[in-house]
Amino acid sequence: MSTARATFTERWRQLPDVVQRLALPALVLLLAILYPWYFGGLPGAFPAVETAVIMLIFTVMALGLNVVVGYAGLLDLGYVAFYAAGAYVAAWLASVQFEQVTFHLGSIGIVDTLPGIHISIWIVLVAAALFTTIVGVLIGLPTLRLRGDYLAIVTLGFGEIVPQVVRNGDDFGGFDLTHGTFGISPIDSIGFGNTLNDTLGLPASYQTSTNRAELFYLTALALLLFTVFCSVRLRDSRLGRAWIAIREDETAAAAMGVPLMRTKTWSYATGAFFGGLAGAFYAVFKSGAFPSDFFFNFSIFILCMVILGGMGSVWGVIVGGLVLSYLDREGLAKVGSFASDVLNRPIDVPKYAFGVYGAIIVAMMLFRPAGMIPEKRHRLEIDEGVESAAVASAEQGGDGRRGDG
Amino acid sequence: MADNLLDAIQLRKEFGGLVASNNVDFAIPRGSIVSLIGPNGAGKTTFFNMLTGVYKPTAGRILFDGEDITGKPPHAITERGIGRTFQNIRLFPLMTAVENVLVGMNCRLRGGIIGAIIRPPRVRREEKLARERARELLAYSGLPTRHTELARSLPYGDQRRLEVARALATEPKLLLLDEPTAGMNPQETADFIGFVSRLPDDRGLTVLLIEHDMKVVMGVSDRVTVLEYGEKIAEGTPGEVQRNERVIEAYLGKGATE
């Protein structure tokens, strides 16, 4: 038995580098793509496809926030503002909200005379992301001059302002912008329309399809892959290095020719782009933008994903995002019903959700401060620390590097 | 004035009631090594921080290469050709040595956000060349190996060398070194001074050195300026400055000259 394993390992090592490097990601990707078709055979703890869609969307958002918090080190406590902006742009551009006008562009599954703006959801997703990027720049320009805690407080303010505007935006001098607490619903369906359905067999409309959940799942997965791709490419670029340099030492970065404002604004805009994209897709999936989704604690929830996974680490944030959103949408309820069965009394675990997340974060900070999968550069450092623990503790003791004379 | 790379005219900086730099005139001839010395608290680093844009002067002007750079932000000044190191090492501790140098090249590279994501051949080529150049600079600065180690895990002397490599990566015309030999042993100090003295001929650089240790600067400097309590008390060749009574007083106290 052990010899068989040895030969396997040996043969594996002889395979080309590319195969060794890509084998695991390819396997994970394959399992992810096929998930809706085999999860029925898995134990009950695995998330339903509908839940998986939301997990993927939240993970896209976590990756977007990771660009701001993890790469550039700017603590943003108002990320929900971008989420809301994206969702409402989707609602504006693909519903009967603005019934004063009738505008159709590539809309599917509705009659051409339906009032309101109805633009193809594919275009809407791009438009929402771009609009949110602009919002990010507009919020960023006045606030990013602030450092550290001050920036956190101001973003906290914006994270509260945007949802409040949304909640009360049903009467701007008689103009109904957001339909107040009711939200905007329904949003047009995403799909490829009848022509493409007939010629290429692409789904005409997700919402009316019998495979609704699977279609949304695959699209969300594609969005996540796109986000991961951008995150990785940005990390290893001139801009990504400038972000990390600012995180590490702002004064030194400026002295090395990194323009602070411009670089920070790019990180904010990038984070906003993915926040808006995810928000728009979420609204399309739910077929509505509802103000009850955009509370302050959602910002903290996404931030927890980043911290749990490992700030700056793309793979860590993916794991953190999937784990926390699973717990939020399904996991805690399942733990609750399991506990209720065992203890024979009703225990409502989801009620304590933020208590649970808080406990997780505290535990992480104590036992794995760099996150579940630390950023590669962090990990190097930590591995080294294990070998020479004495040196590491000595360094921690007397770190006077930050004070510049 | 014609061939000065940098001219500081009547430069003044006040922190509340404290005058850290009192109308100092200061010039750096092109291609020379100039030192700024003075006892602790004389205002050397304040002066330095005004040249690099960290502080805005209360009054006075700074001309660099014929251009007024007074009050410009640090990155704009770096872009115009002033590179610097810090008195207390300020590397990017969780980036590798090569990455630290690449950040120094930031203002000489062009790749933007779209280029970063799509990575067209132009950006690939630029990145490849930049990495090669970063390794060359590290080797030139005395760090032939350990390029992919995190900056914070390098030994002290190597961190100093890495800081110089990072400053050189900004392609400066003027290199400002803020007490670069602090914490070095005599052998390292001698090596480093040798390295600095070769910079003008090797790379066409002009160097401004800050030191409070007079012995370090005497051998290497073309000109020396002495500050005390924010005022310029002497200026000239090392020999002249060494014989200046006010300088001896400032360093050794009153009575030493009597």
Q: What is the pLDDT along chain B (258 residues), one digit of tens a residue?
A: 458 999 999 999 999 888 998 999 999 999 999 999 988 888 888 999 999 999 999 999 999 999 999 999 999 999 999 999 998 999 999 999 999 999 999 999 998 999 999 999 999 999 999 999 999 999 999 999 889 899 999 999 899 999 999 999 999 999 999 998 888 888 888 899 999 999 999 999 999 999 877 778 888 999 999 999 889 999 999 989 888 888 888 877 766 554
Q: What CA–CA distance (Å, rounded) separates A229 from A314? A: 10
Amino acid at A222: A
CB A91 within 8 A of CB A128: no
Residues 88-147, chain B, touching A (beta carbon < 8 A): 88-96, 99, 102-104, 106-109, 111-113, 115-117, 119, 123, 127
| Residue-range domain boundaries for chain B | 1-81+172-258, 93-169
Cβ of residue A384 closer than 8 Å to a chain B Cβ: yes
Residue A47, token pair as written in the block: 């998330």
Q: Which of A130, A231, A256, A263 to mutate to test the interface with B (most CBs of B within 10 A)?
A: A256
A254 → closest Cβ in B45, B74, B92: B74
pLDDT of residue B28: 95
Tokens 């007079």, located at residue: B214
CB B174 within 8 A of CB B205: yes
- Closest-CA distance, A50 to chain B, in angstroms, reads 30
Residue A130, token pair as written in the block: 């771009």
Q: Which of A233, A238, A243, A268 to mutate to test the interface with B (most CBs of B within 10 A)?
A: A238
pLDDT of residue B254: 66
Question: Residue A219's closest CA among A240, A188, A191?
Answer: A191
pLDDT of residue A378: 45
Global ipTM: 0.92
3-state secondary structure labels for all residues of chain B: CCCEEEEEEEEEEEECCEEEEEEEEEEEECCCEEEEECCCCCCHHHHHHHHCCCCCCCEEEEEECCEECCCCCHHHHHHHCEEECCCCCCCCCCCEHHHHHHHHCHHHCCCCHHHHHHCCHHHHHHHHHHHHHHHHHHHHCCCCCCCCCEHHHCCHHHHHHHHHHHHHHCCCCEEEEECCCCCCCHHHHHHHHHHHHHHHHHHCCEEEEEECCHHHHHCCCCEEEEEECCEEEEEECHHHHHHCHHHHHHHHCCCCCC
pLDDT of residue A392: 37
CB B223 within 8 A of CB B237: yes
pLDDT of residue A82: 95
A256 → closest Cβ in B113, B123, B166: B166
Q: What is the DSSP string of A172-189?
A: BTTB-SS-GGG-B-PPPP
A237 → closest Cβ in B54, B78, B116: B116
pLDDT of residue A112: 84
Segments in chain A below pLDDT 50: 378-405
Residues 62-81, chain B, touching A (beta carbon < 8 A): 73-76, 78-79
Please name every residue paired with B207 in a beta bridge, in sequence order, or none if there are none: B33, B175
Domains of chain A with CATH codes: 16-389 (1.10.3470)
Cβ of residue A386 closer than 8 Å to a chain B Cβ: no
Residues 45-64, chain B, touching A (beta carbon < 8 A): 45, 52, 54
CB-based contact B170 A252, cutoff 8 Å: no
Q: Which fold has domain B1-81+172-258?
A: Rossmann fold (3.40.50)
pLDDT of residue A351: 87
Closest chain B residue by Cα to residue A237: B116
CA–CA–CA angle B203, B207, B212 (5° rounding): 145
pLDDT of residue B246: 87
pLDDT of residue A8: 82
At B180-191, the pLDDT tens digits run: 888 888 888 889
pLDDT of residue B2: 54
